[in-house]
């Protein structure tokens, strides 16, 4: 097995409003600040893995606008191979994000260029790479590109990982192409129709996703940690205690950190610790890409708990 993490996914300009509390429908509230950050679930996961220190290639699309040029510079600055990040006419992906005083968030995404990632571009780009350990994708590119990523990952002998965020109308056949599916508790409830408030309920939902065809399902539960299930086992991983500042990209940091650890040869139990530590640290800082931790901090947190 190779060492490279390939991320097929979105790149977004994040427009972030900090505010005391979220407005109700029809209500107007004042925000505290407006910031712009690099984001997009795909880019966040690629940067999270790259900051752990594994080689990362990104497959996606940027627009022909100024934010497209800026996001490409971010890809390059992080040492990510962006040769398969296409440029298409029109706007880049853009996310409007509200973060309240507790660190909770609400996100609306305009797909922009992310909607133009094609199944063929994904297939040929993965086929042109070698030494692939992991192909990781999420829900912010078209569904046929997601299926193509998982098929091409399998064809390349890589482990395939799906973070089904946001939840879409995924074809049920997709799960049998997925080695590890990683929803949060809300996404797991939407995907399975099952309650996921408690660890036991989330484990039942994880088992349901395995019955649909995934090799392993990990349900992340924010400050409550994560639970996982395979066909013949299940378990949990405790959260690292932190005071959240901004939870945007914490789930992406989990997926990128876990993928990097698996690519380095760690087993699932260890990789869960690396993912949890990366996710916890990301929640202690503002922004998406700016909040993603580097290897030293993640390793320090993982080893401090051993």
| Active site amino acids | 252
The answer to the question of residue 81 lying near ligand RIB (CB under 6 A) is no
283 and 244 Cβ atoms separated by less than 8 Å: yes
Q: Which one of 4, 6, 7, 41 is in contact with ligand RIB (CB under 6 A)? A: 41
Q: What is the largest CA-CA distance in the chain?
A: 54
The answer to the question of residue 275 lying near ligand RIB (CB under 6 A) is no
Instruction: Give the burial string for 250-277 (b: 16+ CB within 10 Å, else e).
Output: bbbbbbbbbbbbbbbebebebbbbbbbb
The answer to the question of residue 109 lying near ligand RIB (CB under 6 A) is yes
The answer to the question of residue 246 lying near ligand RIB (CB under 6 A) is no
Identify which range of 27-35, 66-74, 170-178, 247-255 contacts ligand RIB by CB under 6 A. 247-255
The answer to the question of residue 107 lying near ligand RIB (CB under 6 A) is yes
Identify which range of 22-30, 36-44, 156-164, 209-217 contacts ligand RIB by CB under 6 A. 36-44
- CA distances to 71, 183, 202, 256, 285 from 162, rounded to whole Å, are 23, 8, 17, 11, 25
Q: Which one of 248, 255, 282, 292 is in contact with ligand RIB (CB under 6 A)? A: 248
Q: Which of residues 1-30 bind ligand RIB (CB under 6 A)?
A: 10, 12, 14
Tokens of 266: 């760690």
Cβ proximity to ligand RIB, 107 vs 298, nearer residue: 107
Which phi and psi angles does 130 have, rounded to 5°? -125, 175
Identify which range of 35-43, 154-162, 189-197, 272-280 contacts ligand RIB by CB under 6 A. 35-43
| Residue 235 to residue 230: CA distance in whole angstroms | 9
How many DSSP H helices and E strands does the chain contain? 9, 13
Interacting residues with ligand RIB (CB under 6 A): 10, 12, 14, 39-41, 44, 95, 107, 109, 140, 248-249, 251-252, 288
């Amino acid at each position: 097995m190779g060492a490279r993490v390939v991320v097929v996914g979105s790149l977004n300009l994040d427009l972030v409003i900090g505010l005391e509390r979220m407005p109700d429908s029809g209500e107007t509230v004042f925000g505290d600040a407006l910031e712009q950050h690099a984001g997009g679930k795909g880019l966040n996961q690629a940067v999270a893995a790259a900051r752990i220190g594994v080689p990362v290639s990104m497959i996606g699309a940027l627009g022909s606008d100024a934010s497209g040029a800026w996001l490409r510079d971010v890809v390059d600055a992080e040492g990510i191979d962006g040769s398969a990040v296409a440029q298409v006419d029109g706007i880049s992906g853009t996310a409007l994000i509200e973060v309240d005083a507790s660190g909770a968030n609400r996100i609306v995404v305009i797909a922009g260029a992310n909607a133009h990632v094609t199944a063929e571009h994904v297939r040929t780009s993965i086929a042109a790479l070698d030494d692939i350990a992991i192909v990781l994708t999420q829900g912010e590119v078209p569904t046929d590109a997601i299926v193509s990523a998982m098929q091409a990952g399998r064809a390349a002998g890589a482990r395939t990982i799906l973070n089904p965020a946001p939840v879409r109308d995924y074809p049920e056949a997709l799960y049998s192409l997925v080695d590890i599916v990683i929803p949060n508790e809300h996404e797991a409830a939407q995907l399975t129709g099952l309650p996921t408030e408690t660890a036991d309920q989330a484990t039942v939902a994880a088992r349901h996703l395995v019955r649909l065809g995934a090799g392993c399902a990990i349900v992340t539960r924010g400050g409550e940690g994560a639970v996982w299930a395979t066909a013949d086992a299940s378990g949990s991983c405790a959260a690292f205690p932190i005071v959240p500042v901004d939870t945007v990209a914490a789930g992406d940091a989990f997926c990128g950190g876990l993928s990097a650890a698996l690519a380095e040869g760690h087993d699932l139990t260890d990789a869960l610790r690396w993912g949890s530590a990366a996710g916890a640290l990301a929640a202690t800082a503002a922004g998406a890409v700016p909040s993603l931790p580097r290897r030293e901090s993640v390793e320090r947190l993982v080893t401090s708990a051993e």
